[in-house]
Amino acid sequence: SSSSSSSSRELYVAYTSGSSGFGAKGTVARADAVMSYCAAKIAVERVRRTSRVCLASNTTFDIYPSDAYVAAVRGACAVVASRALFQADFAAVLLRGAATHVCCTPTLFALARLPRGWEDAPSLRRVSLAGERMSAETLERWGGDPLGDGDEDGDDEDGDEDESEDGDEDGD
């Protein structure tokens, strides 16, 4: 019999490229760590059940499965497309998918060609860029809160609109 609890069991293995200098290796993602990541990302990035999380990172990028879990755990919609479409017309993926959240590399995000930043992507609320250095231009265009008030949709503190567990808004 196993002495480990179900929360510390392996959930998946992510293979890193070795860009940190330690060589390529498999990293075990445990269920408790992934759920902690999900809780933190949901809180920090204000992922709601009504959010549309664009899974733009390559499926081989170690952040991809965790971001997929964020959408699933929160009950949000996952916006997906082929690699070819992301590379050919990333802006269309974001706009047609009405994406509210996206996480990818700065290089991929630059393919979106949204020169006016938040103004060109009205549904977008959070952009997370990782895996490489971003340009000062990207930071200037996309830094900050898109609505400037810290709360894009007036939800209460836990990120849910006021409704009971069964979805009945008046609690009956």
Q: Is residue 166 part of a domain?
A: no
Q: Closest Cα to residue 99, out of 131, 130, 72, 121? A: 121
Whether 105 contacts 57, CB under 8 Å:
yes
Q: Is residue 113 part of a domain?
A: yes
Tell whether the torsion through CA atoms of 11, 20, 112 and 89 is positive or negative.
negative
User: Domain holding 16: CATH number?
Assistant: 3.40.50.980
Q: Is residue 164 part of a domain?
A: no
pLDDT at 164: 34
Q: Is residue 63 part of a domain?
A: yes
pLDDT at 151: 52
87-105 confidence digits (pLDDT tens): 999 999 999 999 999 999 9
Residues 133-139: contacts with CB under 8 Å, at least 24 apart: 133/106, 134/106, 135/106, 135/110, 138/106, 138/109, 138/110
**Number of domains present in the structure of the chain:** 1
Q: Is residue 156 part of a domain?
A: no
pLDDT at 144: 76
Structural domain span for residue 88: 6-142
Q: Helix H segments across 45-165?
A: 64-74, 83-96, 106-110, 136-142
Q: Is residue 97 part of a domain?
A: yes
pLDDT at 80: 97
Q: Is residue 165 part of a domain?
A: no
Q: Which residues of the chain have a pLDDT value below 70?
A: 1-7, 18-21, 147-172
Q: Is residue 159 part of a domain?
A: no
